[in-house]
A and B are shown apart, each in its own frame.
Chain A
Amino acid sequence: MARGLKFLRSAWPVVAALALLLLLWQFGAAALDIPTYILPRPAEITVTAVAKWPLLGNALMVTLIEAIGGFLLGAAIGIVLAVLMILVPPLEALLMPIAVVINAVPSIAFVPLVLLWFGLGMESKIAIGALAVVLVVLLNLLAGLKRPEADAINLMRSFGAGRVGILWRLQLPAAMPGLVTGLRVGLARSTIAVIVAEMMGAYSGIGQVIYQATGQVDYLTVWAAVFVASLGSLALYGVLVAIDRKLVWWR
């Protein structure tokens, strides 16, 4: 009960802002006499979205699974790499240049290769999503793990703590805000990468729906897909806020 109220209180500005935007769009476009084939009205788009829900709902599900799957896989790899680099410092010198070189190319550029290796199904999208996430999680977590000053590390050493003890009791908790930042950016990057990859080759998913509808000059469906994708992103954002509260509990 109290929790529901709290949620309402924090969610209402978002809802109000969205409602305002849609109203402005609906009546502004009509007032300015913009043709509907250039800018369809939100009401029309919503009607289309509802009518095409079996297609769009299914596509959203596929995209969300791919985006979350890629995010989880990429975050896990990034976290493991960061921890290894802290425990075995030479690894950082060895692996970091490789990671940076791979990251210098936008992850989207790897889509054709990944499609070739993993096919048109979900696996290729998860791989691309993961690729988009690894480095941002790795860098943010690594920076966080290095944040504790020498004094704090020395204090732990004076208590007789070893490397793992220092990592567990000092560096990891200190790195949580950094990790949360990495996860936030990572989830957004994973979602973008997955949708773009779907446009370049997929059996299903929001990106593929957009791609096909564009080919059929069905812009209402394109817009409906964009709406549905936005709703999905909003839900993901809610998940992130929850993660944030769990990982940085002391603020």
Chain B
Amino acid sequence: MPDPTTVPAATPHLQLVNVWKRFGEEPQQTIAVRNVDLSIEPGAFVTLIGPSGCGKSTLFSMIAGLLPPDSDGSLLLKGKVQQDGAMLGKIAFMPQRDLLFPWRTVLDNATLALEVEGMPRRKARAKAEALFPEFGLGGFEQHYPHQLSGGMRQRVALMRTFLFERDLILLDEPFGALDALTRSMMQRWLLDIWAKHRRTVLFITHDIDEAIFLGDKVVVMTARPGTIKCEEVITLPRPRDPGVVTTPEFMAIKKELLAVVEEESLKTFAAVPA
């Protein structure tokens, strides 16, 4: 049997080649994202970390197709170049806030994407109902979002993202607003779900522990204008249990990444408007 590491790399699931985003015209131009090259293998869990305001969300919007990248770069999905807006509807995107619709029950919030795709309501509901126990929401189908806790709302939003069956999922700081305890529970739960469904995940965070704990690869972005500073492959064994964060291996990776991230964070403080 061939060793999987020696097999020539398959086509990346997502590839960014020289992606830029500039806002405004020359003298007052702001560069949000600069020369980003990134590739994500199928089925990988990649975490992206960087100081706040580094253009992570701009990069995400471009990957989601919500914002066109500048014309000098390109975005490839499974090896095919994507023109402006072509990514819309091709990846499952979860924004920072849950954005649940207050007028829809939990069940109907979960089926939103399916309805947009034109699936009949009954079929969509049946499909979503099957996922409720796995997402820890059994019995809450008919509740309205305002009746749920923050962690539960986030799980509904994740379920909505999972039900939009695209094999690439973009998660933008999904646990950023949760308390530490809930957050660590959600992280383990997310890994379980990911292990079971095996989709490719790109996960933004500003929490180093989270980035290492979840990722196969941690990508560090620089301060604005954002570009990729370094990539660190995480070889910690899976499944990962919460104890892994206290192992010397974890600590070593964290120490290394912390130095890089700190350096970038300091730049955002020292930044003088040009």
Q: Which residues on A are within 8 Å of B, measured CB to CB?
A: 151-152, 154-161, 165, 169-170, 173-174, 176, 249-250
Closest to B117 in A: A160
Closest to B65 in A: A158
Nearest Cβ on chain A to B204's Cβ, whole angstroms: 15
Q: Does B61 contact A (CB under 8 A)?
A: yes
How far is it, in angstroms, between the C-alpha of A165 and the C-alpha of B116 when the chains are bound?
7
| B12 / chain A contacts, CB cutoff of 8 Å | none
Among A152, A157, A170: residue with most chain B CB under 10 A: A157
How far is it, in angstroms, between the C-alpha of A159 and the C-alpha of B91 when the chains are bound?
8
| B213 / chain A contacts, CB cutoff of 8 Å | none
Q: Is the CB of B95 within 8 A of A159?
A: no
Q: Does B101 contact A (CB under 8 A)?
A: yes
| B164 / chain A contacts, CB cutoff of 8 Å | 159
Q: Is the CB of B65 within 8 A of A151?
A: no
Q: Is the CB of B93 within 8 A of A250?
A: no
How far is it, in angstroms, between the C-alpha of A249 and the C-alpha of B104 when the chains are bound?
10
From the candidates A151, A155, A250, name the one contacting B103 in the complex (CB within 8 A).
Answer: A250
| A161 / chain B contacts, CB cutoff of 8 Å | 116
| B95 / chain A contacts, CB cutoff of 8 Å | 151, 154-155
Q: Is the CB of A249 within 8 A of B103?
A: yes
Extra contacts besides A155-B95, A159-B113, A165-B116 (9): CB < 8 Å: A154-B95, A159-B89, A159-B112, A160-B89, A169-B116, A173-B104, A174-B103, A250-B103, A250-B104
From the candidates A151, A160, A169, A174, name the one contacting B97 in the complex (CB within 8 A).
Answer: A151
CB-CB nearest 6 A-B residue pairs = A160-B89, A158-B93, A159-B113, A159-B116, A250-B103, A173-B103
User: Chain B at the A interface: mostly helix, strand, loop or mixed?
Assistant: loop
Count of B interface residues, CB-CB < 8 Å = 24
Q: Does B99 contact A (CB under 8 A)?
A: yes
How far is it, in angstroms, between the C-alpha of A154 and the C-alpha of B170 when the chains are bound?
14
How far is it, in angstroms, between the C-alpha of A173 and the C-alpha of B144 when the chains are bound?
14
Nearest Cβ on chain B to A120's Cβ, whole angstroms: 45
Q: Is the CB of A160 within 8 A of B116?
A: yes
| B102 / chain A contacts, CB cutoff of 8 Å | 250
Q: Is the CB of B88 within 8 A of A158?
A: yes
Q: Is the CB of A158 within 8 A of B99?
A: no
| A152 / chain B contacts, CB cutoff of 8 Å | 99, 101
Known: A160-B88, A170-B101, A250-B103. A154 touches B61 (CB 8 A): yes
Nearest Cβ on chain B to A157's Cβ, whole angstroms: 6
| B70 / chain A contacts, CB cutoff of 8 Å | none
How far is it, in angstroms, between the C-alpha of A170 and the C-alpha of B91 when the chains are bound?
20
Q: Mark B107-137, 1 if CB is under 8 A from A, else 0.
A: 0000011011100000000000000000000
| A165 / chain B contacts, CB cutoff of 8 Å | 116
Q: Is the CB of A250 within 8 A of B112?
A: no
Nearest Cβ on chain B to A1's Cβ, whole angstroms: 25
Q: Is the CB of A169 within 8 A of B103?
A: no
Nearest Cβ on chain A to B246's Cβ, whole angstroms: 37
| A158 / chain B contacts, CB cutoff of 8 Å | 64-66, 88-89, 91-93
From the candidates B91, B96, B99, B115, name the one contacting A169 in the complex (CB within 8 A).
Answer: B115
Closest to A161 in B: B116
How far is it, in angstroms, between the C-alpha of A176 and the C-alpha of B102 when the chains are bound?
12
| A173 / chain B contacts, CB cutoff of 8 Å | 101, 103-104
Nearest Cβ on chain B to A246's Cβ, whole angstroms: 12
Q: Is the CB of B89 within 8 A of A250?
A: no
From the candidates A157, A169, A176, name the one contacting B112 in the complex (CB within 8 A).
Answer: A169
Nearest Cβ on chain B to A243's Cβ, whole angstroms: 16
Q: Which of B157-176 contact A (CB under 8 A)?
A: 164
Q: Is the CB of A176 within 8 A of B113?
A: no
How far is it, in angstroms, between the C-alpha of A157 and the C-alpha of B65 when the chains are bound?
9
| B112 / chain A contacts, CB cutoff of 8 Å | 159, 169
Q: Is the CB of A155 within 8 A of B116?
A: no
From the candidates B65, B93, B115, name the one contacting A155 in the complex (CB within 8 A).
Answer: B93
From the candidates B97, B101, B103, B117, name the one contacting A159 in the complex (CB within 8 A).
Answer: B117
How far is it, in angstroms, between the C-alpha of A250 and the C-alpha of B108 when the chains are bound?
13
Q: Is the CB of A157 within 8 A of B115?
A: no
Closest to A155 in B: B99
Q: Is the CB of B144 within 8 A of A157?
A: no
How far is it, in angstroms, between the C-alpha of A249 and the C-alpha of B103 when the chains are bound?
7
How far is it, in angstroms, between the C-alpha of A152 and the C-alpha of B98 when the chains are bound?
9
